[in-house]
């Protein structure tokens, strides 16, 4: 059996289609290469079609001048901004059959196109006439419209160019699915990270070698201060020989169990600080990892740090909405949750203790608690701390 000739150009384009899903600007290297391969004046990728209330996401690559490079065009260029803001409603070349390459002339003959408002008001002013395109979508619903356009004086897209785009269409669909999954994962991660930040908890992620992979801004500030816990050669280190030995043993146990796929107990440590400042509280637990993953750079352990000096943040407006409190009642409940006594609250608010007690009684009635300690616990565990 003879070996088939490898189409290196096609293989390169396929690779760029997949790489585009993880680029900082999606498909920033892919569009110029595709535009050149199809000898088009403009290559466009619409990741979210515009609508009345949404400008969408449109990436354009225009044939470069002799003194410029083939990169993505400015999204605020007239061609893109005018389409987003006005002409998308006139576009006759949308909602194509999924994964099927079609040219504009297949739907609208040239003699009809020149009479079309979309051509006269949008395509003609920017010098475009011939359009070739394909629509695809991933299971989660994200749609991609890939378009290539030529000037009127240029020839129609040939069968060979249509076939090339048809061969690339399945790869674009799979790359779009990768892109959508990564974006959803990133969004979920950011939501959870934001919740942890609002709870005033420092978070540190360590790899299988115990080295720092990432941390949130609370943990970063504690590590930079170096009081109680710090980084040494990229690894966590605590002041004091005994507590540092406990810390290293706990990290080693957690990471080893994670590597071997064994169940390990969550470890808790108190880490003393200098200057009579309150101890830090550390929780060390395995980090959720990919099944069977090995090697450096893989999350293996998560360290959560609680700093008693850090004030809890609670949204008074959200607290008022959750429990139907008045603004004054919400302020009182928030200050009590921050550790103030009722007398300190009345002084800080400039009200009498009689008024403060009346407000507290009303808060008790609305929240269903009967003691100040219960109210503090309720506030700190409520969704208001995440707002």
What does the pLDDT profile of the chain (387 residues) look like in tens digits?
334 444 778 999 999 999 999 998 899 999 999 999 999 999 999 988 777 777 778 888 998 875 555 566 565 676 667 787 778 888 899 889 999 999 999 999 999 999 999 999 999 998 999 999 999 999 888 889 999 999 999 999 999 999 999 999 999 999 999 999 988 887 777 767 666 666 668 899 998 889 999 888 889 999 999 999 999 999 999 988 899 999 999 999 988 887 777 777 788 999 998 887 889 999 999 887 544 444 456 788 899 998 877 765 667 888 888 899 999 999 999 888 877 889 998 998 899 999 999 999 999 999 999 999 888 888 877 776 666
| Of 24, 16, 11, 36, nearest in space to 172 by CA | 16
The CA–CA distances, whole Å, from 377 to 281, 336, 370, 382 equal 19, 10, 12, 9
Residue with tokens 């088009």: 40
CATH architecture classification, 316-386: Orthogonal Bundle (1.10)
Residue with tokens 């850090």: 310
Q: Decide the pairing of beta strands 267-271 and 42-48.
A: unpaired
User: What is the separation, in whole angstroms, between the first and last Cα of the chain?
Assistant: 66
Q: Decide the pairing of beta strands 143-150 and 235-238.
A: unpaired
Residue with tokens 């979508």: 137
Read off the pTM: 0.64
Contact present, 48 and 27 (Cβ < 8 Å)? no
The region, left, alpha or beta by phi > 0 then psi within -120 to 50, assigned to residue 233 is left
**Rounded to an integer, what distance in angstroms lies between the CA atom of residue 327 and that of residue 319?**
9
Tell me which fold the domain 8-186 belongs to: Beta-Lactamase (3.30.450)
Tell me which fold the domain 199-306 belongs to: Beta-Lactamase (3.30.450)
The CA–CA distances, whole Å, from 188 to 182, 183, 184 equal 10, 9, 6
User: Same CATH topology for 8-186 and 199-306?
Assistant: yes
In 3-state terms, the chain is what percent helix, strand and coil (to 5)?
45, 20, 35
**Rounded to an integer, what distance in angstroms lies between the CA atom of residue 351 and that of residue 159?**
82
Q: Parse the chain into domains and list their residue ranges.
A: 8-186, 199-306, 316-386
**Rounded to an integer, what distance in angstroms lies between the CA atom of residue 17 and that of residue 33?**
10
Q: Output the CA torsion sign for 245, 250, 253, 259.
A: negative
**Rounded to an integer, what distance in angstroms lies between the CA atom of residue 102 and that of residue 100?**
6
């Amino acid at each position: 059996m003879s070996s088939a000739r490898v189409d290196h150009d096609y293989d390169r384009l396929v690779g760029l289609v997949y790489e585009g899903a993880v680029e900082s600007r999606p498909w920033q290297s892919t569009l110029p290469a595709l535009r050149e391969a199809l000898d088009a004046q403009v290559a466009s990728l619409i990741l979210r079609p515009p609508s009345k209330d949404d400008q969408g996401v449109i990436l354009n690559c225009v044939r470069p001048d002799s003194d410029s490079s083939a990169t993505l065009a400015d999204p605020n260029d007239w061609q893109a901004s005018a389409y987003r803001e006005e002409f998308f409603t006139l576009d006759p070349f949308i909602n194509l059959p999924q994964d099927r390459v079609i040219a504009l002339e297949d739907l609208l003959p040239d003699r009809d196109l020149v009479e079309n408002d979309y051509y006269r008001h949008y395509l003609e002013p920017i010098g475009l006439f011939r359009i070739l395109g394909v629509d695809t979508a991933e299971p989660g619903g994200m749609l991609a419209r890939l378009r290539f356009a030529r000037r009127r004086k240029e020839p129609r897209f040939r069968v060979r160019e249509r076939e090339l785009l048809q061969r690339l269409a399945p790869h674009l669909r799979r790359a779009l699915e990768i892109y959508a999954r990564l974006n959803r994962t990133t969004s979920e991660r950011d939501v959870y990270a934001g919740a942890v930040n609002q709870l005033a908890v420092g978070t540190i992620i360590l790899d299988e070698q115990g080295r720092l992979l990432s941390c949130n801004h609370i943990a970063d500030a504690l590590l930079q201060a170096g009081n109680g816990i710090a980084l040494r050669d990229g690894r966590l280190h605590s002041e004091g020989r005994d507590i540092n030995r406990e810390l290293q043993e706990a990290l080693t146990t957690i990471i080893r169990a994670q590597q071997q796929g064994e169940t390990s107990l969550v470890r808790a440590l108190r880490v003393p600080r200098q200057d009579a400042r309150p101890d830090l509280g550390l929780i060390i637990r395995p980090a959720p990892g990919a099944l069977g993953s090995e090697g450096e750079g893989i999350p293996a352990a998560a360290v959560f740090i609680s700093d008693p000096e850090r004030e809890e943040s609670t949204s008074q407006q959200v607290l008022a909405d959750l429990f139907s409190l008045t603004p004054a009642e919400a302020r009182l409940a928030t200050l009590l949750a921050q550790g103030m006594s009722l007398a300190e609250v009345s002084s800080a608010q400039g009200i009498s203790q009689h008024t403060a007690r009346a407000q507290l009684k009303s808060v008790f009635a609305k929240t269903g608690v009967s003691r100040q300690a219960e109210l503090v616990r309720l506030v700190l565990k409520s969704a208001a701390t995440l707002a």
